[in-house]
Amino acid sequence: MPLKVLSVLDTAKIRYYHFKAIIVAGMGIFTDAYDLFCIPLITRLLAHIYYTSHNYKIPHPVEASMLAVALLGTVIGQLVFGRLGDRVGRRRVYGLALMLMMAGSFGCGFSMGTTRGRVLASLGFFRFLLGVGIGGDYPLSATIMSEYANKRMRGAFIAAVFSMQGFGILASSIVTMVVCKIFGHIYPLPQKDPMPNEADIAWRLILMLGAVPTALTYYWRMMMPETARYTALVELNVHKAARDMEPVLDVSLSQITEDHPFPQKPPSYPLFSKQFFLLHGRDLLACSAAWFLLDIVFYINNLCQIHIYKKYLYDEKAGKTLTAFEAAFEVARLQAIVACYSTIPGYFAAVFLIDRIGRVRIQAVGFLFMAIVYFSIGNIPWKSNTGGLIIFLHSLTYFFANCGPNTTTFIVPAELFPARFRSTCHGIAGAAGKVGAMIGAVGFLMASHDEDPIGHKMTKRMKVVLNVLGGICVAGMAVTMLFTRETMGRSLEENENENKDESVQEASDLNRS
């Protein structure tokens, strides 16, 4: 029998606190995306400042290192903060993750030194620190939103939080374009200036502006009460959970308090024990594997966008060398276009569909259509005048990823596990995803060459990459169909109990055999 306060939460009507929680939690995801996905834009400015002898192009190993260091920090942050969220409390460590993100953003802007080596080393350190904060935000935002939401609209609420990733990508593009236009107008840089001080200020400003939305929501994060599920099920303090939810739900304390306020102590099996793996091993494997496979593809698409669409940038088409501000503006413009007509609509579709057709279906279908697109581009003999069609088809992968596995892999780990393991398991699944992101983005950069973009003259190497990505999507669909459980329409406790009943029955059948 579920606690009354949790039953009230599961059936609560949509209220102001739901939308407030979406904005407060979503701003963390917004900042995460801004900081992670602005680095391809920043590299254009850095190339014009420090790599004039390389024809204004950062060597792939250097660029790969800048991507990998932030993703490595994200892996560590997800594991550490995910565990702290279960041991200390969601709200108590929520602010710490935010503070690391702000410190990392400002630190990137104040990267020390004037020589290339010192600046890039300092930038790498602060990108790592920023990544730790970003990683910490993932499991905490997902867990808090899942534990606040009612069971009917829970998927849409968490998807709405995660949709802020699309707006963060768009914001990084817009901020870069605005800064570059302003600086370009005030300081028209000579193309062959080996150390344009104004461009050096511009990239630092772009990075530091990423801390603004985080700072604006810090107060509201600290004012959020601890989730009722954590207080009641982990701290075993039902009265406090009810008191915290009384103003949130706009109901009287008597309506959400039971005669016997203290629940029976839950089973005390430890994390990673034999019983844990018996009850939750399949779910953890399914969430981690799907997220790992998805992020290989997703981060190649987003972080390596400049290389994939290389032939469609203005400076490449015109065969001319642009100033630092013009070059960064072109990349930002391309990223903004893709975000507006493909990335953000995918998130909107996910919010609309997630509680109508379910997590498993939308994730499997998303993987399926991504695979179809990749196999089509990689194998159909395109004619010389179909380059635009290829780019359009490739942009659909952004839509199907976001209206599919990119959103559901964030949602499902926050719904499947018990309250005392929920944040930890979400962090583990997310960390597996970021390992996939490192393999994908870094591997693509190290294996690709400047003559390998998508277009009507694709090389054999790019065709192989596209077919491999299609195969990864097929593997993701298989993992989804074979191992992932549906969570739509059930309370978090019902999902846990169903998992327990199924696992106990499996163990009983195994013992009888």
Overall average pLDDT of the 208-236 stretch: 87
Q: Alpha-carbon distance 33 to 172, whole Å?
A: 8
How far does the chain reach from its first CA to its final CA, in angstroms? 32
- What's at 139, amino acid-wise? P
Q: Which is higher by pLDDT, 7 or 305?
A: 7
Torsion angle (degrees, nearest 10) of CA 436, 32, 231, 225: -170
Q: Where does the pLDDT of residue 8 fall: very low under 50, low under 70, confident under 90, or very high at 90 and above?
A: confident
Q: How many CB atoms lie within 10 A of CB 491?
A: 20
Nearest to 87 by CA among 427, 483, 358: 427
**From the DSSP assignment, how many helices (H) and strands (E) are in the chain?**
23, 0
Whether residue 455 is predicted with pLDDT greater than 80 in this model: the reply is no
Overall average pLDDT of the 90-109 stretch: 91
Q: Where does the pLDDT of residue 474 fall: very low under 50, low under 70, confident under 90, or very high at 90 and above?
A: very high
Q: What integer best gives the mean pLDDT of the chain? A: 85
Overall average pLDDT of the 460-474 stretch: 88
Q: What is the pLDDT of residues 362-380, one digit of tens each?
A: 999 999 999 999 998 888 7
Is residue 51 within 8 A of residue 330, CB to CB? The reply is no
- What's at 66, amino acid-wise? M
CA 251 to chain centre: 35
Tokens of 7: 């039953």
Q: Determine the pLDDT at residue 127.
A: 94
The DSSP code sequence of 60-128 is: HHHHHHHHHHHHHHHHHHHHHHHHHHHHT-HHHHHHHHHHHHHHHHHHHHT---SSHHHHHHHHHHHHH
Name the most confidently modeled range: 2-6, 215-219, 397-401, 506-510.
Answer: 397-401
Q: What is the pLDDT of residues 162-176, one digit of tens each?
A: 999 999 999 999 999
Q: What is the pLDDT of residues 18-59, one digit of tens each?
A: 888 899 889 889 998 999 888 888 988 888 888 877 777 888
Domains and CATH numbers, the chain: 16-260+271-502 (1.20.1250.20)
Whether residue 125 is predicted with pLDDT greater than 60 in this model: the reply is yes
φ and ψ at residue 121, rounded to 5 degrees: -65, -45
Whether residue 307 is predicted with pLDDT greater than 90 in this model: the reply is no
Q: Alpha-carbon distance 166 to 339, whole Å?
A: 7
Q: Determine the pLDDT at residue 458.
A: 64
Q: Where does the pLDDT of residue 499 fall: very low under 50, low under 70, confident under 90, or very high at 90 and above?
A: low
Q: Determine the pLDDT at residue 317.
A: 47
Q: Determine the pLDDT at residue 510.
A: 37
Is residue 70 within 8 A of residue 42, CB to CB? The reply is no
CA distances, 155 to each of 22, 141, 513 (Å): 12, 13, 39
Task: Tell me the torsion sign for CA atoms 168, 157, 431, 465.
Answer: negative
Q: Which is higher by pLDDT, 333 or 115?
A: 333
Nearest to 136 by CA among 164, 101, 173, 102: 101
- What's at 447, amino acid-wise? A
Place of tokens 């494997």: 285
CA distances, 9 to each of 41, 151, 243 (Å): 43, 8, 13
Please give the share of the chain, as a percent, with pLDDT higher than 70: 84
Q: Alpha-carbon distance 400 to 371, whole Å?
A: 10
Q: Determine the pLDDT at residue 504.
A: 44
State the pTM of this model: 0.91
Tokens of 166: 């699309």
Nearest to 150 by CA among 7, 39, 254: 7
Is residue 430 within 8 A of residue 139, CB to CB? The reply is yes
Is residue 404 within 8 A of residue 365, CB to CB? The reply is yes
Query: Angle between the 422-447 and 274-303 helix axes, to the nearest 10 degrees?
Result: 40
SS3 333: helix
Whether residue 509 is predicted with pLDDT greater than 50 in this model: the reply is no
Q: What is the pLDDT of residues 64-82, one digit of tens each?
A: 888 899 999 999 999 999 9
The two most distant CA atoms of the chain are separated, in Å, by 80
Q: Where does the pLDDT of residue 453 fall: very low under 50, low under 70, confident under 90, or very high at 90 and above?
A: low
